[in-house]
Amino acid sequence: MNAKISASPAQVRAKHIVYVTLVVFVVGFFLYADSSGAQSALATESPVTSSRNTNVSAGAVKRESERFTLQETLAYALQYNPKVRISAKDIEVETYGIDAAQAERMPRIDFGSGASRYRYPAPLTPPVISGPFGVGLDIPEYSRNIYDAGGSFRMPIFKGGRLYRAVRVAEIKKAIAEDNFTTSKQDLVYNLTSVFYKIAELEKLLVATDGNVRQLEAHKRDVELLFKTGAVAYLDLLKTDVQLAYAIEQRLIVKNNLESGYELLKSLMGMDDMERRIAIVYQEAALPSLPHLEDSLARAFDQRPEYKAITKKKKIFEERVKIAQGKRLPDVYVAGEYGGKAGDSLAFKENWFFGARLSMPVFDGGLISAEVNKEKTELQKVLEEERSLKLFITREVRDAYLNITSARERTEVAKKTIESAKENVRIERMKYQTGAGTTTDYLDAQTDLLRTEADYFRAYFDEEVARAFLRKAVGEETKLGSAQ
């Protein structure tokens, strides 16, 4: 018996739901597969577009900075700083000055020729008488047009000691140029070290100011939350905004000063490419103990290149006094000449002479005495310069000791205060969050912390700079080690 069973309405609705679900699943699957294939095709169809995107992302990456330690910075600057290189050229100039002074002691040989026309005929050679009463008289040729050519020499024999003293003065000048070169290097080392430590201080301060901004931003979020709940007044939010704006401004100032410090550092290093990005690597090391003040003063007068130079300058003027006094003595030299003259026929008639000459001043109107007195006065000036420099060096060494001592004491005080300031900030923030404190107390505590950290960094690096100044004051050479 075939009986036809009809489905209920509920069963029909269930079948429709299953059917629709299957259709949606199948359609969604094919759409997903098609979109994935399209994306793959887009990724591989245009290598030019892919390469362009790669270049853009690579160009967006900031160029990495070259890193320099203090030793590497000094080594680079001593090689490329223009002032140091100019001082090195001064030594070369004075070397040529020695050659010129030595050349004054050598014979001088010249060659010359010329052509002249006279109004009346002139003799080519002087008349020659070879016998008594003019028996062998040789009458020279005469011509209005005379051509001459020949050579001459002259060699000094004695000039009152001025020749060898001039050589000695030139040698001393070269030694002074070498001392000035050392002074230029020591000045550069000190200036570069000062800038290096200032940059290190600013980088530490930048970290502190950045931390201050983050702390104030976190505090502002707390204030905003409490303000929304009605726990604090709107004035607290205004005070926080003002303090945060001031902190951001201080951070910007430190960043600008840091950038300016790097520009100055590159200038002292002698970098021609001012767009070159550099960064310092500060390596903290234990500071050595200070020697006794008397030992440093003794080393300064023994090593300081400026003091050596002024001592040599005194010797120069002592020699110049003797050179001026030597002008009272006779000048002796030998000279000779060989040449010929010809008229229009170009038949040259030769002639020569050789001899020694002596010249001695008898009366010059007081010129030599004036020159001697002038050089003696210049010598007295140099003696006063030496005395002034001695006082200046003494003051520099003593100032270096005072600066080191002061910076060390300030560092110890600031170091102890930092921990207290940090704890004060923590307590004030907790008090404010629990409603027991005021926003003014927290902002004051945060400001005190930043000021204390700044004082510590300033004092710490002031001692580093003061020690560098002491090395310069005593004339200590910088040992570059492997960096050189």
User: Domain of 251: which CATH number?
Assistant: 1.20.1600.10
Residues 6+ apart with CB under 8 A from 458: 201, 410
Task: Please report which confidence band the pLDDT of residue 3 belongs to, taking 50, 70 and 90 as the band edges.
Answer: very low
pTM: 0.77
- The tokens describing 425, both together, are 């900030």
Burial of 16 (0-12, 13-18, 19+ CB in 10 A): exposed
Residue 143 maps to a domain: no
- Pairwise CA distance, residues 322 & 328, whole Å: 10
Element (H, E) at 455: helix 439-473
In a domain, 428, yes or no: yes
Domains in the chain: how many in total?
1
340-376 exposure pattern, b = at least 16 Cβ within 10 A, e = fewer: bbbbeeeebeeeeeeeeeeeeeeeeeeeeeebbeebe
Q: How far is CA 475 from CA 177, 231, 299, 471, 482, in A?
A: 16, 66, 8, 6, 22
**pLDDT category of residue 274 using cuts at 50, 70 and 90:** confident
**pLDDT, mean of residues 136-149:** 84
Residue predicted with more confidence, 289 or 317: 317
**Given pLDDT bands bounded at 50, 70 and 90, which one contains residue 258?**
very high
Of 442, 444, 447, 440, nearest to 431 by C-alpha is: 442
Considering only residues 52 and 373, tell me which one the structure prediction assigns the higher pLDDT.
Answer: 373
Q: Give the model's pLDDT for residue 59.
A: 35
User: When comparing pLDDT for 387 and 440, which is higher?
Assistant: 387
Strand stretches in 13-100, DSSP E: 66-69
* pLDDT tens digits for range 8-40: 434 433 443 333 333 334 334 333 334 333 333
Asked whether residue 410 is domain-assigned, the answer is: yes
Q: Which residue has the tokens 């005929």?
A: 121
Asked if residue 187 lies in contact with residue 306, where contact means CB atoms within 8 angstroms, the answer is no
Tell me, yes or no, whether 126 lies in a domain.
no
Q: Tell whether 325 is covered by a domain.
A: yes
Does a structural domain hold residue 431? yes
Cβ atoms 327, 368 nearer than 8 A? yes
Q: How far apart are CA 189 and CA 195, in angstroms?
A: 10
Asked if 281 and 69 touch (Cβ cutoff 8 Å), the reply is: yes
- Whether 118 maps to a domain, the answer reads no
Residue 194 lies in a domain: yes
Provide the residue range defining the domain that includes 165: 67-108+160-330+366-477
Please give the pLDDT value at position 358: 92
